[in-house]
Amino acid sequence: MGNSGSRAPPRLGKTYVPDFKWKIHDFSALLETKATSAKSAPFDLSGYKWYLQVSPMHKKNNDETPYVALALMLWPYKLEQGHTVHAVFEVSIYNHSNRMYCGCKADYNFDFKNSYSKKECLIPLQELLKSSSFLVDDSCVFGVEILKIDVSSPEKKEVVVQHKATTVQNFFVQKKGFVEGTYTWTVNNFHELELKNVFRSPTFEVGGHKWYIRMYPRGDRCSTDCLSLHLCLDASNDVPHESKNVAKMTLSIQGQKNGKHVNLTTGLVVFPGSWGWGWPNFIPLKKFKDPSEGYLVESNCIVKADLTIVGSSNDG
């Protein structure tokens, strides 16, 4: 699905009211961060937790034109093993000139391994930047409406989509003054700690907030024979619920023998309250524990977190 053959998304109709409206302020600053994507804070609908992701410079196959593309994400930790959630939805961008949302209809099967839908290309980036209809005061508004949810499971059921008042969020990106921090966590007793389901690093401070790294030595419930790593805000932070950090992070496991490191980096993500982001399948356990790889030496491993706070998010 998408808008092949069209330079701008079609109208979705006068009656279109999104379940989620996301206003990205300072869109040019988002581009300057060179982040491949930005993700909203979660919104709740029909018993599931969803996110909207924008990729501002997405390229289609065999097409060098960068597109502003949207994808829907389902938080996988609410899913049961063996369940697949089939969602039919519409993603859109608001046209201020005619006061209508424009976009496309899509569908996707979400499960533990597939929590992101396919990227739907809405509009070429250059067309967005020169348009006074889609970009107003360096801000643009994106929307998503979920039309239908089916759950494939032993009981096989259709979920009634319970539409409510539109959830509104604002996403702010600073033009300068980013706050950066690095923390290195040396684990000296991994073999002892791996008997636990999860353990965490000492807290460290970046941007006036306390953070920690959470490790699942045998993987979290969404992983497959992998070690899981997450970066989290500590619950002791006095962070107002309506104000959330927008950050980009890199987590890495350092190679102690040959200088090879495993690094994974997010786009821009929102950290609301004592919440975390990370990777269920950070590194295969077989590779992590292989002595020749040098990631786990005797019972020692080194984990590094690089964090850049670039803005804030709040409810509209």
CATH number at residue 142: 2.60.210.10
Q: At which residue do the structure tokens 């419930």 appear?
A: 221
Last residue of a domain, one of 141, 173, 205: 173
140 backbone dihedrals φ, ψ, rounded to 5°: -140, 160
62 backbone dihedrals φ, ψ, rounded to 5°: 60, 25
184 with 164, same domain? no
253 within a domain of the structure (yes/no): yes
Last residue of a domain, one of 173, 207, 233: 173
What sign for the dihedral angle of Cα 100, 89, 18, 63? Answer: negative
What's the pLDDT score for residue 105?
94
SS3 3: coil
pLDDT averaged per 10 residues in sequence order, the chain, 316 residues: 57 83 96 94 92 95 90 89 90 93 95 93 92 94 94 73 90 92 97 93 93 95 93 76 84 93 96 82 96 95 97 91
Surface-to-core class of residue 119, CB atoms within 10 Å of its CB (0-12 exposed, 13-18 middle, 19+ buried): buried
159 with 184, same domain? no
- Residues sharing a CB contact under 8 Å with residue 96, sequence separation 6 or more, in sequence order: 132, 133, 134, 136
**Distance, CA of 130 to chain centre:** 27
What's the pLDDT score for residue 77?
84
Last residue of a domain, one of 148, 173, 198: 173
What's the pLDDT score for residue 243?
72
Is residue 83 within 8 A of residue 75, CB to CB? The reply is no
Parallel, antiparallel, or unpaired: how do β-strands 48-59 and 269-271 relate? unpaired
What's the pLDDT score for residue 274?
65
Give the predicted TM-score (pTM) of the model. 0.90
Helices (H), 137-265: 190-193
82 with 29, same domain? yes
What's the pLDDT score for residue 1?
40
Q: How far apart, in whole angstroms, are the C-alpha atoms of residue 17 and residue 153?
A: 30
What is the residue range of 148's domain? 20-173
115 with 91, same domain? yes
Domain count, the chain: 2
What's the pLDDT score for residue 239?
59
Helix H or strand E encompassing 288? helix 285-289
Helix H or strand E encompassing 306? strand 301-315
6 within a domain of the structure (yes/no): no
